[in-house]
Structure 1
Amino acid sequence: MDTPRNALFEALLREYGYTHRSLAAEVNRVSEGIYGRPGAATDRDVRRWVSGAVRWPTGRYLLPLTQMFDRPPEAMGFVPRGRSSRLPAPPAPARPGQEEPVKRREFLTASTAVTLSLVLRLEETPVRGRLTMADIDRITATIGRLDAHFTAIGGGALLTVATAYISRLRDAVDGCTYGPRVEERLHSAISGLYSSAGWAAHDSGDGTAARLHHAAALQSAILAQDPGAQARAWSNLSLQARAEGRHREALSITRAALNSRKARQDPRISALLHFRLAIGHARLGDRRATARALLAAESAYDRFDTAAPAPAWLRFLDAAEIAGLAAIAHQATGQLPDAEIATSEALRLLGPSMHRNRAYYGVQLAELQLAQGDTTRARATAAVVDTVAVSSPRIADRLATVHRLLATA
């Protein structure tokens, strides 16, 4: 009897843009993050998973697959066979205070960038000839997948990829021919890519590059006449100003963005901007204004149309992120117990693939516990923060600071 083909898994490969070879490379990379050494999957292994010849991959590859696609094995079409077909638990994280050698971190970042470039097939975007709407759709989908990788693992490894793709798209602007509608969509895509690059630079601790990318995102959004892209750029500029300690400027930028028609019409954008406003007021010590902005943000969140898909760049704004943003505002106003409760809620609600946000809010929880003098719980929290699968120097530095403070507590 013929073995049934794994159509579910095959469809996932198409949806995420993987070839057999690029999927094997990504499985090996994720496996290294989990087990400390790279996997040995090949395109032949992937063909056997797709064809159904292997109904339940070995745990060495199954655990990375569940993280990459954010779903259990059965939802990928794999069929368990008795007690031996159980998803293995990941190995215990390194002991507190243990840090990866710098060379290893650099290697992982470089290998991730190379793998992502291959997976996303950036070189397939034309830089000569005529661009069509179909080309723009592919470009937009590629940027959406890049955003998804950022959400999962952080921006450290993505900055090189994003800036390289920006260069390629700018070559397409100058080297291709296209009509007015394609031109607007192309500038809109470039705006989104600049925003992604700005976030990646921010995650890497490069504030100067982040500010330049966010400003370029706004310029491209204006050229595209895209209100959504403009709102995104304004939101990011507000966050960057706050990160640099320019809190009044951040408030002014956020207020300007909230006055846009797009923010009034789209509750997702409105919620994000009101949270930015709440954190800005909190940084300036205005508790009443903070409470008003938080109430407005939660009201906008209640109006989300859950039946309609969110834009790729706003998919991170879920219940977990809502709790996390509220925690940041509470922390800034000195309401540390409320901030701790909200941070714990964010961690509880996070999906299994959100490695970056889990590390981010894990560090935040340890910081809050340490600030309240609870070194025992802070030590336990910091001990389980896993940054192995995360490429974010900013988060790693904050975790190292927590460990240093705990060592002297």
Structure 2
Amino acid sequence: MDPVPNRQLAELMRELDFTQATLAEAVNEALAELFGPDCPRRCSDRTVRYWLSGTVRWPWVQYLLALEHLFGRPAPAIGFVPRGKASANLPPPPRRPPLAPKEAEVQVLRRQFMTASTTATLALALGIDETPHRGRLSMSDVERVRRQTARLDAHFFAIGGGPLLAAATAFIDRLTTALDTCRYGDRVEQALHSAICSLYASAGWAAHDSGNTATAARLHAASLHSALQAADPSAVARAWSNLALQARIEGRHREAVRLTRTALDHRQVQKDPHLAALLHSRLAIGQATTADRTGAARSLLAAERAYDRATSPPPSWLAFLNEAEVSGLAAIAHTALGHYAQAEASTVQALHLLPGPMRRQRALYRVQLAELQLAQHHHEQAAATLAALDTASLDSRRITTRLTAVQHALATT
């Protein structure tokens, strides 16, 4: 049988501007980061060609872990095909030995420098200054914007909101200026509004993660406005969903349920099992919060069924929606119903299923698990859960606020 080209890997490389040589270099750097400087680093552009051509369908385990680390998604979502059920369960990378004091000090200083410069670095990496502000725009310009937005989303999934808000809003400003000053056809205009809608949504999540509720609400409303201008049903459903989540955050739970149902009414949602799974999960949380136990149970089942229908990778903004996230959202619904033991089991399952590179979600689930253990007066377990928490390089006020609350509760009991 002839090899089947790995189109998913090719698309990811295109989105993130990797050549065969630069991907090989990045894999070798990831190997050193994950396994230490003594790990063999033999990945070359020829190795990458074997992956792209399908000659190698399931690479060496260390390569797979490095690729998961780089792309922020499990190996099958990068287009690799396991040789069997046993091979599909990748082992976690070994824990690195503790750093020597001097090396640890250098690492801390490096993290401080990176945090201070991340916004500027992101803006440079996204190529915001290269966004056209005169001349004629084409679909290739829109595709470049989409790739840049996918990079921004990948950064969020890895470490949280932090400097994303400034980078995303600066990008939006450049694009809205382009709408006013450039020339383009109807198709490009519609696609550009859809791209701006996606950026507004990402910026809204960054604002939420940074604890800026008022800004998040404004950005999500702007996202809906752009989605309507784009006449993009999927984007409209996404915007309604984010507005529903905003309503729940602000304590308007019945409104959150109504808005989520509005999102679910879009025909496009029925064609997109990932989006349907997300919306049914959020509807279940809203129903649980408003004491609709039967409705919450039905929505949780609908979310599982929708996710089971998914046969292709989700769009970049939904890359976080995997089996782990479905379990994590179910845990929130069970918590709202007062089913703490069931919520704890769902959170443990989420942690078990979560891909390694999604550090932000792992930290969030660990804090959620500690909260549930504390609610059941399992103080020693909650303390042990927090002891295993790794917040290095994370930039999420939402997570740190909850973490501080749990630490304070443990200290005062």
Task: Specify the TM-score bucket, using the shorter chain as the normaliser.
Answer: 0.7 to 0.9
Q: 1:152 aligns with which of 154, 158, 164?
A: 158
The yes-or-no answer on 1:361 pairing with 2:353 is no
C-alpha RMSD of the superposition: 3.7
The yes-or-no answer on 1:315 pairing with 2:319 is yes
Amino acid at match of 1:251: V
Amino acid at match of 2:235: A
Amino acid at match of 2:347: T
Rounded Cα–Cα distance in structure 2 between residues aligned with 1:259 and 1:328: 23
Rounded Cα–Cα distance in structure 1 between residues aligned with 2:255 and 2:112: 35
**1:116 paired residue number:** 122
Instruction: Please give the per-residue CA displacement for 1:334-388, whole angstroms capped at 9, x wherever unaligned.
Output: 0000000000000001111100000000100000001100011100001111111
**1:192 paired residue number:** 198
CA distance 1:373–1:253, change in 2 (3 Å): same
CA distance 1:175–1:398, change in 2 (3 Å): same
The yes-or-no answer on 1:16 pairing with 2:16 is yes
Q: 1:340 aligns with which of 341, 344, 350?
A: 344
The correspondence of residues 250-399 of structure 1 with structure 2, limited to 5 A, is: 250-304=256-310, 306=311, 308-399=312-403
The correspondence of residues 163-178 of structure 1 with structure 2, limited to 5 A, is: 163-178=169-184
Q: 2:218 aligns with which of 212, 218, 225?
A: 212
Offset at 1:264? 2.7
Rounded Cα–Cα distance in structure 2 between residues aligned with 1:160 and 1:343: 32
Rounded Cα–Cα distance in structure 2 between residues aligned with 1:91 and 1:403: 26
Offset at 1:90? 3.5
Matched residue count: 364
Amino acid at match of 1:235: S
* Structure 1 runs not aligned, ≥5 long: 1-8, 40-45, 53-62, 76-86, 94-102
Amino acid at match of 2:17: G
Offset at 1:215? 0.2
Rounded Cα–Cα distance in structure 2 between residues aligned with 1:280 and 1:121: 39
Instruction: Please give the per-residue CA displacement for 1:146-187, whole angstroms capped at 9, x wherever unaligned.
Output: 111111211112111111101111111111100000000000
Rounded Cα–Cα distance in structure 2 between residues aligned with 1:10 and 1:208: 39
Rounded Cα–Cα distance in structure 2 between residues aligned with 1:196 and 1:333: 30
Q: 1:245 aligns with which of 225, 244, 251?
A: 251
**In 2, are the aligned partners of 1:187 and 1:224 still within 8 Å (CA)?**
yes
The correspondence of residues 10-159 of structure 1 with structure 2, limited to 5 A, is: 15-17=15-17, 67-70=69-72, 89-90=95-96, 108-159=114-165
**1:161 paired residue number:** 167
> What secondary structure, in the 3-state scheme, does the structure 1 residue paired with 2:377 have?
coil
* Structure 2 runs not aligned, ≥5 long: 1-8, 48-64, 79-92, 100-108
Offset at 1:114? 2.0
**In 2, are the aligned partners of 1:67 and 1:353 still within 8 Å (CA)?**
yes
Rounded Cα–Cα distance in structure 1 between residues aligned with 2:18 and 2:134: 25
Amino acid at match of 1:324: G
**In 1, are the aligned partners of 2:25 and 2:44 still within 8 Å (CA)?**
no
**In 1, are the aligned partners of 2:254 and 2:286 still within 8 Å (CA)?**
yes
**In 2, are the aligned partners of 1:17 and 1:120 still within 8 Å (CA)?**
no
Rounded Cα–Cα distance in structure 2 between residues aligned with 1:344 and 1:367: 12
- Runs of 4+ in structure 1 off by over 4 angstroms are 9-15, 18-21, 48-52, 63-66, 103-108
Rounded Cα–Cα distance in structure 2 between residues aligned with 1:274 and 1:14: 32
**In 2, are the aligned partners of 1:10 and 1:50 still within 8 Å (CA)?**
no
Amino acid at match of 2:247: A
Instruction: Please give the per-residue CA displacement for 1:25-82, whole angstroms capped at 9, x wherever unaligned.
Output: 9x99xx99x99xxx9xxxxxx9x97799xxxxxxxxxx9987334589xx9xxxxxxx
**1:226 paired residue number:** 232
> What secondary structure, in the 3-state scheme, does the structure 1 residue paired with 2:248 have?
helix
> Normalising by the residue count of structure 1, what TM-score does the alignment of the two structures yield?
0.79
CA distance 1:15–1:193, change in 2 (3 Å): closer
